[in-house]
C-alpha cells in the first residue's frame, strides 16, 4: 500500500511539473509570491516563532529554486538561504573556527540520467563509489559509520582543559549565537569532561528535547491555559533563545554529541567510531548502542532501513540517519563544497503518507486577525493517530497546490507531529470541482478582509474570534503571565462577564469570578491576586501581550528599552505614521541600520501603524486607567564615561572574560552590544581568532581594542 501511495503521489507531482514546464513565463507570479513566502517564514524562524514546520519550509524553498532555474534567474539575484540561519537579536555572535556545514541528502525525488526515479540504495552506492574513487581505495579500506540523526538544534561546545567555556548555535554555518548561559542553566551538556585534558577541544552535537520531557512541559502549559508547543525541535530552539535562562533546568533538554572538528593539545583516536567512544568515556552523551560500523554502502543502507522500524519506540524524535566515512584521515583528503562535506551524507526517513477525501475547508481567525484555511478530512490513520483536520498554512499555498473540496489528497505529518495536506491526487479529481476562493469577509464578524504579504487579515478590533484569541495570548506565560486565566476561563469571562479588552480583565473582582462555572472561592481569590501581580510586568510584556504583528519578545524588549514608556512609544508611532522625517530617519536612515536593532522600514510600517491605530491607543488608555505599569523594566546601570552611549561589537575569544560577561559589563556601564559591525559601531573588541568582523571594522575605520583596553574603559 505504501508503494502504491508513493507511486500515486509521484504521478500527481509529475503531471503538475509537466504542465509547469509548458509555460515558464506564466510561472513568474508564482516565483515572486514564493520569494515573499520564503522571506516571511525566514523572519518568523529567526524571531523564534516559526509558523510552518522545517519540512514545509524546505518544500517552499525547493520549489522556489525549481522556478528560479526554469525562469533563468541568475544565482546572484536569488534568495540566499544559508544553512540553519538562526541569529536572534540580543545574542552575541561567534565565528566558528571550522564552518558548521549542512549535509548532502539522499532524496526520494532524485532522478537518474534517463529521468527515472533513482532508489535511495542506488544513490548511496553511487556516493560511496565516488568517495572510493577520490581516495583511490577499496571498500575494505573505507568502512562506513552509521549514527542516528536526532531532530534537535546543532551546537558547538568549546572545552578548555576539559571545562566548558562556550556554547554556540550553528547559525549560518560561519557564525552562530552564544548560548552558553542557556546551555549551562539547562544542564544540557557536560560542563566538565572526565580525565586530564591539557588543551582545547571543540565538540559538536545536537541539543534536543526528549519526548517525555516535552510532553510534561506541554501538560503544564495546557493546565495554565497556554498554547502547547507544536514539536520538540522548535520548542528546544525557543528554550535555548530565552534571554533569561532561569528555570531551564526543569525543561529537561539534553544532548547527543557526534563530532570533534578540531583539538589542540589533545590526542584523539583515528576513527569517528573511536572518537565517539572517547567522548562517551569522558562523560559525553553518546549513544554507542545506536551506532554501527559497516563494510559497504548496502550494509549501511540496510542498517538505516532497520532503524526506521524502531522510530516509534525511541524516547526522542529522529528524522533520519547520518552515514560517515569512519577513518578520520580521509576526511581532509576528500573534497567538499561550500555547503556540505564529502565525507558524510544524510539519509532522511520519508514521512508516512496517506490518501483521503477533503470534505471541506474552514477558516480560523487568529489573535492578530490572520485568516488560516484548515482542511476538513475524512478521518485517516497517519503516523499513530487518526487525522480529521490538517493545516493548509495560508491561501497562497492552497491556491498553488490547487486543493479543492471533494479532492482526494495526500496527507502526512510534518515532523511526525503536524498533519498537513501535501498534494492532490489529480487523476481522481471528481468532475465539477472549483478552485477555492479566498474569503473577502471575516467568517467570525463579517468585516472586509485585507491582504498583507502572503496572508489575509480581519482588520476589525471587535471581531469576537480575535477578542478571545488575543485575551488568551495576553494572559499567557510569555506575555502577562496571569496564572489561572486559561482558555476556558477566557471564554467564560467573554461570554458571561462582557470582557472585551485587556483592561476589562483588571476590573474583574472576586464576586464576578466566583459565579463562573468551575470557579470556586479559592480559585477566584487566586485569579484576582494573579491579575494584581500582572499589573507590574512592565511595557515589554504588555507589548508582547497585545499581539502586534512582528512584535515578538525581542522586539518588544528593544522598543521598551528605546522609548522607555508607552506614552513616548505611542507619540513616536503617531509621528512615524504621519511620515515625520526625523521619525522615519530614526527607524530606517538612508544608509546603515536604524536606532532600533532588527527593525527595517517594512516592519516599522506594520508595527507603528498598529501602535498608532485608535484601537491600540484605546487599549493603552484602558490599561493605564486600570493601574497597569506601562514603563520599561530597565536594568540598573551606572554610566561610565567613554562607554555610555557607545556601541561595541565583540569578536574572537577574550583572554579572561566570557562573551556574556563582557556584554553584561558593557551594558551595565551604559553601552550597547551589537552582533554585527556597521558604520554605527564605535568599538570592536577583538580577541583570539577574530575573523571577518575584524576585517570589516578595519575597512570602516572602527576603533579596535583588546580586552585589556575594554577593562580599562569599564573601570572609568
Measure the CA–CA gap between 103 and 522, rounded to whole angstroms: 56
Cell of 560: 521598551
Q: How far is CA 496 from the centre of its chain?
A: 38
User: Is residue 697 within 8 Å of residue 707, measured between CB atoms?
Assistant: no
Residue whose C-alpha is closest to residue 333's, from 97, 146, 124, 136: 136
User: Is residue 330 within 8 Å of residue 135, measured between CB atoms?
Assistant: yes
How many C-beta atoms surround the C-beta of residue 167 within 10 A?
28
Cell of 269: 583516536
Cell of 470: 488575543
Bridge partners of residue 204, in order along the sequence:
156, 259
Backbone φ/ψ region at 217: left (φ over 0), alpha (ψ -120 to 50), beta: alpha
Residue whose C-alpha is closest to residue 593's, from 242, 35, 89, 168: 89
Measure the CA–CA gap between 434 and 261, rounded to whole angstroms: 55
Q: In Å, how far are 148, 316, 503, 560, 707 from 611, measured between CA atoms? A: 48, 42, 16, 13, 41
Phi first, then psi, for residue 370 (nearest 5°) are -65, 135
Measure the CA–CA gap between 384 and 277, rounded to whole angstroms: 35
Phi first, then psi, for residue 409 (nearest 5°) are -125, 155
Q: In Å, how far are 220, 231, 330, 515, 524 from 519, measured between CA atoms? A: 19, 32, 67, 7, 6
User: Is residue 24 within 8 Å of residue 70, measured between CB atoms?
Assistant: yes
What is the arrangement of strands in the sheet containing 683-686, beginning at the earlier edge strand?
Answer: 672-674, 647-651, 683-686, 703-705
Measure the CA–CA gap between 535 and 708, rounded to whole angstroms: 44
Active site residues: 149
Measure the CA–CA gap between 563 and 558, rounded to whole angstroms: 9
Q: What is the DSSP letter of 349?
A: P
Residue whose C-alpha is closest to residue 707's, from 690, 697, 276: 690
Cell of 215: 510532553
Cell of 338: 561550500
Mapping DSSP onto H, E and C, the string for 370-389 reads EEEEEEEEEEEEECCEEEEE
Cell of 499: 470582557
Measure the CA–CA gap between 155 and 446, rounded to whole angstroms: 48
Measure the CA–CA gap between 716 and 714, rounded to whole angstroms: 5
Buried b or exposed e, range 273-298, using 16+ CB within 10 angstroms = bebbbbbeebbbbbeeebbbbbebbe
Amino acid at each position: 500500500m505504501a508503494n502504491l501511495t508513493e507511486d500515486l503521489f509521484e504521478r500527481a507531482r509529475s503531471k503538475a511539473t509537466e504542465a509547469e514546464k509548458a509555460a515558464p513565463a506564466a510561472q513568474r507570479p508564482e516565483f515572486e509570491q514564493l520569494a515573499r513566502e520564503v522571506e516571511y517564514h525566514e523572519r518568523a524562524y529567526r524571531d523564534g516563532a516559526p509558523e510552518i514546520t522545517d519540512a514545509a519550509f524546505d518544500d517552499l524553498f525547493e520549489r522556489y529554486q525549481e522556478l528560479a532555474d526554469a525562469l533563468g534567474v541568475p544565482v546572484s539575484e536569488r534568495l540566499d538561504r544559508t544553512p540553519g540561519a538562526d541569529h536572534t537579536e540580543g545574542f552575541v555572535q561567534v565565528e566558528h573556527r571550522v564552518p558548521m556545514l549542512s549535509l548532502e541528502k539522499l532524496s526520494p525525488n532524485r532522478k537518474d540520467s534517463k529521468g527515472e526515479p533513482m532508489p535511495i540504495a542506488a544513490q548511496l552506492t553511487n556516493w560511496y563509489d565516488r568517495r572510493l574513487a577520490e581516495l583511490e581505495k577499496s571498500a575494505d579500506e573505507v568502512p562506513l559509520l552509521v549514527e542516528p540523526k536526532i531532530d534537535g538544534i546543532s551546537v558547538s561546545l568549546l572545552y578548555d582543559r576539559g571545562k566548558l567555556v562556550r556554547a554556540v548555535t550553528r547559525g549560518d554555518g560561519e557564525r552562530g549565537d552564544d548560548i552558553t548561559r542557556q546551555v549551562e542553566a539547562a544542564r544540557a551538556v557536560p560542563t566538565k569532561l572526565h580525565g586530564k585534558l591539557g588543551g582545547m577541544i571543540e565538540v559538536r552535537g545536537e541539543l534536543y528535547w526528549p519526548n517525555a520531557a516535552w510532553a510534561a512541559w506541554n501538560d503544564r502549559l495546557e493546565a495554565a491555559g497556554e498554547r502547547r508547543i507544536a514539536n520538540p525541535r522548535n520548542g528546544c530552539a525557543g528554550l535555548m533563545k530565552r534571554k533569561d535562562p532561569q528555570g531551564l533546568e526543569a525543561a529537561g533538554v539534553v544532548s547527543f554529541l557526534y563530532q570533534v572538528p578540531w583539538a589542540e593539545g589533545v590526542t584523539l583516536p583515528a576513527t569517528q567510531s573511536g572518537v565517539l567512544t572517547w567522548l562517551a568515556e569522558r562523560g559525553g552523551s553518546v549513544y554507542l548502542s545506536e551506532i554501527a560500523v559497516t563494510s559497504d554502502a548496502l550494509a549501511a543502507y540496510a542498517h538505516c532501513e532497520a532503524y526506521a522500524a524502531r522510530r516509534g519506540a525511541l524516547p526522542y524524535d529522529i528524522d533520519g540517519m547520518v552515514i560517515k566515512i569512519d577513518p578520520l584521515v580521509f576526511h581532509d583528503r576528500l573534497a567538499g563544497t561550500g555547503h556540505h562535506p564529502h565525507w558524510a551524507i544524510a539519509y532522511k526517513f520519508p514521512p508516512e503518507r496517506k490518501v483521503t477525501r477533503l470534505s471541506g475547508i474552514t477558516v480560523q481567525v487568529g489573535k492578530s486577525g490572520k485568516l488560516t484555511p484548515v482542511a476538513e478530512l475524512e478521518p485517516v490513520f497517519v503516523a499513530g493517530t487518526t487525522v480529521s483536520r490538517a493545516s493548509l498554512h495560508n491561501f497562497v499555498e492552497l491556491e498553488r497546490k490547487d486543493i479543492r473540496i471533494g479532492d482526494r489528497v495526500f496527507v502526512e505529518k510534518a515532523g511526525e507531529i503536524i498533519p498537513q495536506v501535501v498534494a492532490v491526487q489529480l487523476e481522481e479529481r471528481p468532475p465539477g470541482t472549483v478552485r477555492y476562493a479566498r474569503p473577502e469577509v471575516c467568517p467570525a464578524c463579517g468585516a472586509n478582509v485585507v491582504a498583507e504579504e502572503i496572508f489575509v487579515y480581519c482588520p476589525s478590533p471587535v471581531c469576537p474570534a480575535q477578542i478571545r484569541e488575543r485575551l488568551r495570548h495576553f494572559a499567557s506565560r510569555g506575555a502577562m503571565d496571569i496564572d489561572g486565566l486559561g482558555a476556558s476561563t477566557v471564554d467564560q469571562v467573554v461570554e458571561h462577564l462582557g470582557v472585551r479588552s485587556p483592561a476589562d480583565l483588571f476590573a474583574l473582582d472576586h464576586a464576578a469570578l466566583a459565579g463562573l462555572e468551575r470557579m470556586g472561592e479559592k480559585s477566584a481569590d487566586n485569579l484576582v491576586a494573579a491579575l494584581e501581580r500582572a499589573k507590574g510586568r512592565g511595557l515589554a510584556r504588555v507589548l508582547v501581550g497585545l499581539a502586534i504583528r512582528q512584535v515578538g519578545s525581542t522586539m518588544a524588549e528593544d522598543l521598551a528599552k528605546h522609548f522607555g514608556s508607552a506614552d513616548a512609544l505611542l507619540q513616536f508611532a503617531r509621528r512615524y505614521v504621519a511620515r515625520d522625517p526625523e521619525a522615519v530617519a530614526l527607524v530606517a536612515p538612508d544608509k546603515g541600520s536604524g536606532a532600533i536593532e532588527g527593525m527595517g522600514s517594512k516592519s516599522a510600517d506594520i508595527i507603528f501603524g498598529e501602535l498608532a491605530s485608535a484601537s491600540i491607543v484605546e487599549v493603552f488608555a484602558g490599561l493605564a486607567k486600570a493601574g497597569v505599569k506601562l514603563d520599561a523594566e530597565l536594568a540598573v546601570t551606572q554610566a561610565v564615561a567613554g562607554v555610555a552611549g557607545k556601541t561595541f561589537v565583540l569578536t574572537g575569544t577574550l583572554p579572561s572574560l566570557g562573551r556574556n560577561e563582557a556584554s553584561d559589563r558593557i551594558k551595565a556601564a551604559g553601552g550597547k552590544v551589537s552582533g554585527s559591525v556597521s558604520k554605527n559601531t564605535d568599538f570592536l573588541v577583538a580577541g583570539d581568532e577574530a575573523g571577518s568582523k575584524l576585517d570589516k571594522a578595519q575597512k570602516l575605520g572602527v576603533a579596535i581594542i583588546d580586552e585589556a583596553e575594554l577593562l580599562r574603559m569599564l573601570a572609568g
